[in-house]
C-alpha cells in the first residue's frame, strides 16, 4: 500500500489531536478513551481481526443514549478535518525539488504541445481568448455542512497554510497551534445540522459567498497564470477583456418541482446579485483610489478629468459614486419597485471604461508595473463577473408551460392545448409568435399556477439581458416545448432574444433529441429569433436513474453526436449544456477527463456545465483550489476544441450498443420490474429519513409514487449512505460480464486504450466500486430489512461482486484502483472513521423506526449527523 505524504499525515494527526483535546475538555477522559477504542476497533476490524470487530461492535452497542450524538459528532468532525487537510495538501507550498502539480502544468504543457503540432501562435492566442466556458452553480441539496461551519473550515485551512513555513519561530508555531485549537473548538461547539431548511434566497446567498470569499480572489490569479503561460509559449498576451470562464447560477431561478422558487424570489435574487457585485467592486475601487496617487497621466485621461493634481483618483471617484448609487438603488428596490436612476450603472462598459482608461494611461506613462497590479485584477473581475455577478438561469418543467397554455386556449375558446397533437401545437405557437397583437386580453384572470408562470416571464422581460443566462425547460421532448416558452416570454413583453434550452433527460428523450432539434431548426421564422447558438441541455442524473449509467452514458454520447451533425447541417452554432452531478451515478467524475471524453465537435470553444451541491465547496471553496480547477477546465476545453478525440470505430459502436442494451435490461429488471425492489430500497437505505434532513429548499420528491417519483439526488444519496452505490454500477456487471463471456476482451481493451469516452467510463466505474462495500451494505440489511426481502439484498451484493470482477477482468488488475495506490490508501484511511458511523447509523435507524420516526430530539440529531459524516467521508455523495 502506498504511503500518504508525511506532511499530510502530520496535518491530519495534528487536527485529530486538537479535536481530541476539545472533546476531552467537554466530555472527559473516559469518553475520549471510548472514542479511541471505537477507532482502533474499526482499524483492526478492517484488517480482518475478529477481536477488533467484536470490540467495535460491543463498544458501540454499549453506548448510553446520551453518548450517541457526541460519538457521531466526533467521527463526523474528524472526517471533515481530514477533508480540510487533504484539500490544503493539494495547494501547499512545494518543497525544494518537488515537481509542480498537474493542475499547474496542464495549460503550459498543452500550449507547447499545440505549438509543436503546428498550431499558429496568433491563432492559438485568439482561440484561448475566445473560449466560452460557463460554470453554473446549483443549489442541489448535497451540501450538508452549514455555511457557518464552512467558514470555520476555511479558516482552519488558512491556518494550516500559515503554519507551513520552516522558518517559523517556536513562539510563532505555538501561536498558530493555539489558533487552530480555538478554530476546532468553535467548529465542535457549532451544530452541524441546520434546524430548518434554507430558503432559495439563503441558497443564493451561499453561492454569492463562494464568489466573495474564493472566486473573487481566484479568477484574477487564474487569468494571470493563463496570461503568463500564453506569453511564455507564444509571446502574446491575453486580451484585457478576455473572460474564458464565467459563472451562472440556478439558485433562485430553478423552480422545477420547487414551489418555494417564485417570481418574487427570482426578482429578489437578481437584485441581491446586483447589490453584491456593486459592493465588491466598491471595495476594489476604494483600494485602487488609495494606491493610484500618481500625477502623470495620458492626454486622453487628462481630457476627461481636466486639470487635477491626482487624475486617477478623480476618475475613480466618479466610478465610486456610481457604484454607491447602484448599491443603494438595489437595496431600495428590494423593498419597493423603484426604477433605477441615470446614475445607476446599467452596462458593463460603464464599469470597464474608467478602469481601462486608467490602465492604458499608466502603461502610456511608463507605469505598467503599477497598472498590472490590483488594477488589472479589477479589470479581470469586471470582465468575468460584470455588473450582475452571475447570470441567473430560469428553469421550469415543460408540463407547467403546457398547463398554462391549455388554460389560455380554453379561456380564448380555441380548444384544449393539452389535447392537441404536436403539429397542431406548433402551428398555433408559430402563428401567435408572428402575431403583433397580444394573446391575452386585459380582463383575463389566470389560476394561481398560470399566474406564477406568467409572473416569472414578466420578471425575465424586465431584467437586464446581461443578468440572465438561459431559460431551461425540464422534461422537454418536442419543438413545441421551446416555442411555448418563447410565446409566454413574448406575451410578458420580452423585446430581446433569450436562449431557450430544452433539457433532454430520459432515455427516450435523449434518443429523440436530434430529431426534435432538427425539426425546430427547420421551422420558418425560428432561426430569425435565435440570435446566437442553439443551446441544448443534456440530463445526466435522470437519464441514469431511468436507464442505468451504461445505457444513459451511451445515449448521452449519441445524442450529442446527432446534435453536432444536425446543427452543422443547419449552419447553426451548438452550445451543449451538461447537467452533471457530483457522483458517477449522476454523470460526475473528474472534469478534465470528462471533457476530453466528449464526442468530437461537441466542444467547439464552448462548454457549459452545472457545478452541484458539495462539489462547489470542494472545487471552488478555497481560492488556490478554485484556481487549480479553473486551470483544468480551461485546458480541457482548449484541448477538446483543437485536438478532439477520435471518431469511434464501427466495431466500438456495435459493442457499445450491445453493452448499453445488456446494461439497460439488467438495470430495469431490478429497479423497475422486481416486485420487492421499492420495499427493499425503503427499508435498506435511509431514504425516508433523508427527506427530513433540512438540506435544501427543494422537496425530495416531484410527487407521489415510487422510485420514479424520487429526485435523482436522494436516490443516489440513499444508496451512498449504505455503501452499496447501486445506481452508479448496476447494469455494468451484465454488460461487461456478457461481453467478456462472448470473447470481446481484446476489443474492450482496445476501446479502453484508444477511446477516451470508454476509458473515462471504466475509470469512474472502478473508482465508485472501490468505494462500495458489500459488508457494510449487508449490515444495513441484517438490522433494518425484513427477512422476506433480505434475499434481494444478497442478490444485489452478488451483482456488485460481479461488477468488480468484470472490471478487474477488463483491466487485468488484482485489486480495484491498483494503478492508483494513493487514492486507495486515502479511501482506506477514511474507512477507519466511516465504519463506526455506518454501524452507528444502522443502530440509530433501527431505534428511530421502532419509535415511529419521531422528529426532533437527540436520536434524530445523531442520525442526521451520521448522514453528514458519511457524506463528508465519501465526498461525492449526491
Cα separations (Å) of 572 from 268, 440, 531, 788, 859?
35, 33, 10, 57, 58
Place of cell 437578481: 270
> Distance (Å, rounded) from C-alpha 169 to C-alpha 496?
63
Helices (H), 611-711: 614-620, 623-642, 650-671, 677-684, 687-690
Number of other CB atoms surrounding residue 549 within 10 Å:
29
140 given a catalytic annotation: yes
Region for 2 from its dihedrals, namely left if φ exceeds 0, alpha if ψ lies in -120 to 50, beta otherwise:
beta
Cβ atoms of 752 and 762 closer than 8 Å: yes
> Distance (Å, rounded) from C-alpha 252 to C-alpha 138?
9
Q: Name the DSSP letter for residue 586.
A: G
> Distance (Å, rounded) from C-alpha 465 to C-alpha 271?
14
SS3 assignment, position 346: coil
Handedness of CA 811, 817, 822, 825 (dihedral sign): negative
In total, the chain counts a number of residues equal to: 878
545 given a catalytic annotation: yes
Cβ atoms of 781 and 827 closer than 8 Å: no
**Could you tell me the end-to-end alpha-carbon distance of the chain, in angstroms, rounded to an integer?**
29
Distance of CA 241 to the CA centre of its chain: 26
Number of other CB atoms surrounding residue 366 within 10 Å:
9
Cβ atoms of 255 and 396 closer than 8 Å: yes
Cα separations (Å) of 327 from 3, 227, 287?
52, 32, 18
Which candidate in 43, 140, 592, 619 is catalytic?
140
> Distance (Å, rounded) from C-alpha 124 to C-alpha 688?
53
> Distance (Å, rounded) from C-alpha 304 to C-alpha 318?
11
Which candidate in 205, 545, 619, 771 is catalytic?
545
Cβ atoms of 194 and 144 closer than 8 Å: no
Residue 230 cell numbers, joined: 500564453
Active site residues: 140, 545
Amino acid at each position: 500500500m502506498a504511503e500518504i505524504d508525511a506532511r499530510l499525515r502530520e496535518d491530519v494527526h495534528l487536527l485529530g489531536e486538537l479535536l481530541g483535546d476539545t472533546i476531552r475538555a467537554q466530555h472527559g477522559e473516559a469518553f475520549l478513551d471510548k472514542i479511541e477504542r471505537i477507532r482502533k476497533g474499526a482499524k483492526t476490524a478492517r484488517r480482518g481481526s475478529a477481536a477488533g470487530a467484536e470490540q467495535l461492535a460491543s463498544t458501540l452497542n454499549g453506548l448510553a443514549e446520551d453518548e450517541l450524538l457526541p460519538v457521531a459528532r466526533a467521527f463526523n468532525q474528524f472526517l471533515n478535518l481530514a477533508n480540510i487537510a487533504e484539500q490544503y495538501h493539494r495547494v501547499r507550498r512545494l518543497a525544494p525539488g518537488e515537481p509542480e502539480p498537474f493542475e499547474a502544468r496542464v495549460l503550459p504543457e498543452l500550449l507547447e504541445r499545440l505549438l509543436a503540432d503546428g498550431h499558429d501562435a496568433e491563432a492559438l492566442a485568439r482561440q484561448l481568448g475566445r473560449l466560452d466556458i460557463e460554470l453554473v452553480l446549483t443549489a442541489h441539496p448535497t451540501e450538508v455542512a452549514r455555511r457557518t461551519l464552512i467558514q470555520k473550515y476555511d479558516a482552519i485551512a488558512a491556518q494550516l497554510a500559515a503554519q507551513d513555513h520552516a522558518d517559523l519561530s517556536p513562539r510563532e508555531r505555538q501561536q498558530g497551534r493555539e489558533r487552530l485549537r480555538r478554530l476546532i473548538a468553535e467548529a465542535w461547539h457549532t451544530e452541524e445540522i441546520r434546524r430548518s431548511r434554507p430558503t432559495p434566497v439563503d441558497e443564493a446567498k451561499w453561492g454569492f459567498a463562494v464568489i466573495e470569499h474564493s472566486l473573487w480572489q481566484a479568477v484574477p490569479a487564474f487569468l494571470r497564470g493563463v496570461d503568463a503561460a500564453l506569453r511564455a509559449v507564444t509571446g502574446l498576451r491575453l486580451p484585457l477583456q478576455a473572460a474564458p470562464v464565467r459563472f451562472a447560477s440556478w439558485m433562485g431561478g430553478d423552480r422545477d418541482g420547487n414551489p418555494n422558487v417564485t417570481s418574487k424570489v427570482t426578482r429578489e435574487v437578481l437584485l441581491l446579485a446586483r447589490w453584491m457585485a456593486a459592493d465588491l467592486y466598491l471595495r476594489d475601487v476604494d483600494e485602487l483610489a488609495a494606491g493610484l496617487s500618481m500625477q502623470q497621466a495620458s492626454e486622453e485621461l487628462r481630457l476627461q478629468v481636466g486639470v487635477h493634481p491626482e487624475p486617477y483618483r478623480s476618475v475613480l471617484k466618479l466610478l465610486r459614486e456610481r457604484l454607491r448609487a447602484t448599491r443603494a438603488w438595489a437595496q431600495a428596490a428590494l423593498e419597493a419597485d423603484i426604477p433605477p436612476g441615470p446614475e445607476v450603472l446599467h452596462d458593463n462598459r460603464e464599469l470597464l471604461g474608467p478602469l481601462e482608461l486608467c490602465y492604458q494611461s499608466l502603461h502610456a506613462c511608463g507605469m505598467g508595473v503599477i497598472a498590472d497590479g490590483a488594477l488589472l485584477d479589477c479589470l479581470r473581475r469586471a470582465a468575468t463577473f460584470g455588473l450582475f455577478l452571475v447570470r441567473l438561469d430560469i428553469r421550469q418543467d415543460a408540463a407547467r408551460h403546457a398547463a398554462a397554455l391549455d388554460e389560455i386556449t380554453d379561456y380564448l375558446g380555441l380548444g384544449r392545448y393539452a389535447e392537441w397533437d404536436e403539429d397542431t401545437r406548433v402551428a398555433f405557437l408559430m402563428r401567435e409568435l408572428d402575431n403583433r397583437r397580444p394573446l391575452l386580453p386585459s380582463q383575463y384572470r389566470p389560476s394561481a399556477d398560470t399566474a406564477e408562470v406568467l409572473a416569472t416571464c414578466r420578471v425575465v422581460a424586465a431584467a437586464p439581458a446581461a443578468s440572465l443566462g438561459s431559460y431551461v425547460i425540464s422534461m422537454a421532448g418536442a419543438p413545441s416545448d421551446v416555442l411555448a416558452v418563447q410565446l409566454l416570454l413574448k406575451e410578458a413583453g420580452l423585446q430581446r432574444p433569450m436562449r431557450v434550452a430544452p433539457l433532454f433527460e430520459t432515455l427516450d428523450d435523449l434518443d429523440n433529441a436530434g430529431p426534435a432539434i432538427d425539426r425546430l431548426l427547420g421551422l420558418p421564422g425560428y432561426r430569425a429569433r435565435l440570435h446566437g447558438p442553439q443551446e441544448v441541455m443534456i440530463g445526466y442524473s435522470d437519464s441514469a436513474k431511468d436507464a442505468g449509467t451504461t445505457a444513459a452514458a451511451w445515449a448521452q454520447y449519441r445524442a450529442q453526436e446527432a446534435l453536432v451533425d444536425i446543427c452543422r447541417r443547419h449552419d447553426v452554432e451548438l452550445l451543449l449544456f451538461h447537467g452533471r452531478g457530483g457522483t458517477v451515478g449522476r454523470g460526475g467524475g473528474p472534469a478534465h477527463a470528462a471533457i476530453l471524453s466528449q464526442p468530437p465537435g461537441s466542444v467547439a470553444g464552448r462548454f457549459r456545465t452545472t457545478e452541484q451541491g458539495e462539489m462547489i465547496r470542494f472545487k471552488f471553496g478555497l481560492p488556490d483550489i478554485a484556481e487549480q480547477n479553473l486551470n483544468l477546465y480551461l485546458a480541457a476545453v482548449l484541448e477538446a476544441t483543437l485536438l478532439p478525440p477520435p471518431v469511434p470505430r464501427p466495431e466500438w459502436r456495435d459493442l457499445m450498443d450491445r453493452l448499453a442494451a445488456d446494461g439497460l435490461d439488467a438495470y430495469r429488471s431490478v429497479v423497475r420490474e422486481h416486485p420487492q425492489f421499492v420495499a427493499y430500497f425503503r427499508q435498506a437505505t435511509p431514504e425516508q429519513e433523508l427527506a427530513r434532513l433540512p438540506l435544501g429548499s427543494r422537496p425530495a420528491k416531484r410527487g407521489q409514487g415510487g422510485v420514479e417519483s424520487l429526485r435523482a439526488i436522494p436516490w443516489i444519496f440513499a444508496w451512498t449512505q449504505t455503501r452499496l452505490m447501486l445506481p452508479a454500477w448496476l447494469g455494468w456487471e451484465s454488460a461487461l460480464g456478457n461481453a467478456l463471456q462472448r470473447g470481446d476482451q481484446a476489443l474492450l481493451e482496445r476501446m479502453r486504450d484508444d477511446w477516451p469516452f470508454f476509458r473515462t467510463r471504466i475509470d469512474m466505474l472502478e473508482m465508485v466500486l472501490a468505494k462500495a462495500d458489500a459488508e457494510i451494505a449487508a449490515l444495513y440489511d441484517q438490522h433494518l430489512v425484513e427477512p422476506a426481502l433480505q434475499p434481494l439484498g444478497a442478490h444485489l451484493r452478488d451483482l456488485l461482486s460481479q461488477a468488480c470482477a468484470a472490471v478487474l477482468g477488463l483491466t487485468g488488475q488484482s485489486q480495484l484502483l491498483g494503478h492508483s495506490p494513493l487514492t486507495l490508501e486515502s479511501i482506506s484511511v477514511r474507512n477507519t472513521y466511516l465504519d463506526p458511523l455506518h454501524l452507528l447509523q444502522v443502530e440509530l435507524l433501527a431505534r428511530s423506526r421502532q419509535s415511529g420516526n419521531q422528529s426532533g430530539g437527540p436520536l434524530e440529531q445523531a442520525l442526521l449527523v451520521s448522514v453528514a459524516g458519511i457524506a463528508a467521508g465519501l465526498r461525492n455523495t449526491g
